[in-house]
């Protein structure tokens, strides 16, 4: 019984360490690869980054303010298939999909009324795969705003 | 994933809406010595981050450096050694007249504390930092607004109800932590004050400019707020802020 608990504790510890390590790795990926894409917008300082596999998705909820210009940058590990991202309103109506913009990785927008929007990302599937292995890697969503008050 | 606005963004918005700088609104740096628990230090880190942001947007160089030094002390006490290191202070000193650089450094530094805590498996403290920053931002905005007729500032204040919801969700996610649960409960009067304000928003129509490629989400928003409702929100925010900086 004691051994079972030790194994459970070890597995839990490994899971926590691995989550923490993957966040740290993906944060570095976001910093090095994704952040430069935001220029000349000012990064809001938040590294929304996680590890995803082919076919997996994630969502980011954020309030965007009227009169402010924003840039969203989406970056994925080069081993991953193209990443689709959509901007949805609070009722989940699709306002933008990068599928219609050749899987653009950067998108600029502004709002006439402040809104909470959802940025939904979905990693595509590799169709012509040589092996059965599922690709997995870091995906980051960074947001920048313009300092127009100069 | 939830993403709260950075205090720099909030400060920028209230300045654009017509706010002026008032140093008396800031939490004095002398209060920092009173913060000894993880809870009070995390909240104070957020509060000073918002004060720092407000001062930087108004080019208050000396205040910015003073508040950065105080934030560094708290970050060190919280074990966030890499968040505000000596290099950041030096970078700030050498860019003191370049507001864009200062804004970038503050934005990065403040939010870096948040992600460092997540990396260290201390998400509850990260939530408290963001909450402290959010409360201080609302306190500054409501304090610089004289009446409910101050249309642009009122719009910015009422907008905060949206990120208020994000913040409460973040605290709920960490409500097994007694400090987060306590702070969450203390937000109820501010929530009630926000809920009393009527806001009608139309559907969004996205329109993309062919030349600039910038998409505009066209929509209208109508805020109905009475002087009493504004006063209630202002008073409840003041009470909350007074409690967290004690």
pTM: 0.87
CB contact under 8 A, B6 and A48: no
Q: What is the pLDDT of residue A126?
A: 80
In a domain, B2, yes or no: no
Is the pLDDT confidence value at A16 over 50? no
Chain A contact probe: residue of B2, B21, B57, B204 with most A CBs at under 10 A: B204
Looking at the domain assignment, is residue B1 inside a domain? no
pLDDT at A7 over 50: no
ipTM metric: 0.86
Show me where the domains of chain A are located. Answer: 2-145
Chain B residue at shortest CA distance from A35: B108
- E-strand spans in B38-154? none
Q: Residues of chain B with pLDDT > 70: what percent? A: 94
B163 CA to chain A: closest CA distance, Å?
6
The whole-number pLDDT of residue A85 equals: 94
The whole-angstrom distance between residue B55's C-alpha and the CA centroid of its chain comes to 13
Pick the most confident of A91-105, B103-117, B182-196, B201-215. Answer: B182-196
Asked if residue B222 belongs to a domain, the reply is yes
Query: Would an 8 Å CB–CB cutoff place B210 in contact with chain A?
Result: no
Can you give B176-193 as a three-state secondary structure string?
Answer: CCHHHHHHHHHCHHHHHH
For residue B144 the two structure tokens come to: 């610089």
Give tens-digit pLDDT for B3-55.
Answer: 777 888 889 889 989 999 999 999 999 999 999 999 999 999 999 999 999 99
Domain containing B102: what range?
A: 7-244
Average pLDDT in the A89-101 region?
Answer: 93
Residue B210 Cα distances to A42, B61, B169, B214, B219, angstroms: 24, 41, 38, 8, 20
A63 interaction partners in chain B (CB closer than 8 Å): 5, 159, 162-163, 166
Domain assignment of residue B107, yes or no: yes
How far is A71 from A108, CA to CA, in rounded Å? 4
3-state secondary structure of B3: strand
pLDDT tops 50 at residue A22: yes
Looking at residue B83, its pLDDT comes to 65
Q: Give the model's pLDDT for residue B87.
A: 78
pLDDT attached to residue B4: 77
| pLDDT at residue B97, as a whole number | 79
Quickly name the fold that domain A2-145 has: Jelly Rolls (2.60.120)
- Note whether residue B121 is domain-resident: yes
- Torsion sign over Cα B3, B59, A114, A89: negative
- Neighbouring CB atoms inside 10 A of B179's CB total 19
Inter-chain touch B1–A48, beta carbons under 8 Å:
yes
Give me the mean pLDDT over the B209-232 stretch.
94
- Are B7 and B133 contacting, i.e. CB atoms less than 8 angstroms apart? yes
DSSP letters, B196-239, are TSEEEEPPPEEEE-TTT--EEEE--EEEE--HHHHHHHHHHHHH
- B225 pLDDT higher than 90: yes
Domain count, chain B: 1
Residue B2 has pLDDT above 90, yes or no: no
Going by the DSSP 8-state scheme, the letter that residue B79 receives in this structure is T
pLDDT at A129 over 80: no
Q: Assess whether pLDDT exceeds 90 at residue B94.
A: no
Instruction: Tell me what the mean pLDDT of segment B223-241 comes to.
Output: 97
**Contact status of A101 with chain B (Cβ, < 8 Å):** no
Q: Which pLDDT score, from 0 to 100, does residue B88 have?
A: 78
Average pLDDT, integer, range A5-15: 40
Average pLDDT, chain A: 84
pLDDT digits (tens, 9 = 90+) for A28-87: 899 999 999 999 998 888 888 999 999 999 999 999 999 899 999 999 999 999 999 999
- Top-confidence residue, A32 or B119: A32
Strand-pairing partners, residue A106, are A73
Buried b or exposed e, range B29-65, using 16+ CB within 10 angstroms:
bebbeebeebbbbbbbbbbbbbbbbbbbbbebbebbb
- State yes or no: pLDDT of A10 exceeds 50: no
Ranking A68-77, A115-124, B100-109 by mean pLDDT, the lowest is: B100-109
Res B174 pLDDT > 50: yes
Query: A43 to chain B: which residues are within 8 Å by CB?
Result: 104, 107-108
């Amino acid at each position: 019984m004691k051994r079972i608990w030790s194994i459970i504790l070890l597995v839990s510890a490994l899971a926590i360490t691995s989550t923490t390590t993957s966040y740290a790795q993906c944060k570095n990926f976001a910093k090095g690869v994704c952040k430069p894409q935001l220029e000349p917008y000012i990064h809001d300082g938040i590294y929304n980054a996680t590890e995803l596999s082919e076919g997996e998705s994630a969502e980011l909820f954020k309030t965007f303010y009227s009169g402010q210009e924003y840039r969203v940058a989406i970056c994925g590990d080069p081993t991953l298939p193209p990443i689709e991202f959509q901007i949805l309103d609070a009722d989940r109506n699709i306002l933008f999909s990068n599928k219609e913009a050749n899987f653009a990785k950067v998108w600029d927008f502004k709002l006439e009324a402040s809104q909470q929007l959802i940025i939904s990302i979905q990693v595509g599937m590799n169709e012509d795969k040589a092996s059965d292995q599922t690709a997995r890697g870091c995906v980051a969503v960074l947001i920048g705003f313009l300092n127009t008050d100069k | 994933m939830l993403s709260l606005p950075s205090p720099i963004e909030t400060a920028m918005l209230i300045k654009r809406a017509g706010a002026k700088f008032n140093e008396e609104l800031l939490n004095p740096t002398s209060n920092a010595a009173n913060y000894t628990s993880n809870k009070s230090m995390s909240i104070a880190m957020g509060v000073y981050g918002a004060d720092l942001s407000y001062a930087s947007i108004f080019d208050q160089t000396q205040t910015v450096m003073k508040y950065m030094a105080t934030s560094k002390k708290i970050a060190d006490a919280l074990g966030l050694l890499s968040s505000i290191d000596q290099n950041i202070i030096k970078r700030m000193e050498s860019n003191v007249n370049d507001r864009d650089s200062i804004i970038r450094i503050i934005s990065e530094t403040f939010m870096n504390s948040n992600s460092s805590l997540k990396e260290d498996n201390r998400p509850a403290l990260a939530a408290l930092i963001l909450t402290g920053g959010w409360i201080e931002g609302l306190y500054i905005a409501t304090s610089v607004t004289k009446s409910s007729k101050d249309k642009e500032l009122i719009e910015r204040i009422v907008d905060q109800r949206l990120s208020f919801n994000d913040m409460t969700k973040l605290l709920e996610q960490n409500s097994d932590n007694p400090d987060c649960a306590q702070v969450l409960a203390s937000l109820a009067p501010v929530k009630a004050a926000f809920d009393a304000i009527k806001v009608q928003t139309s559907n969004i129509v996205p329109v993309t400019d062919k030349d600039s490629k910038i998409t505009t989400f066209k929509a209208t928003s109508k805020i109905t707020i009475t002087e009493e409702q504004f006063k209630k929100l202002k008073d409840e925010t003041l009470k909350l802020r007074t409690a967290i900086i004690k």
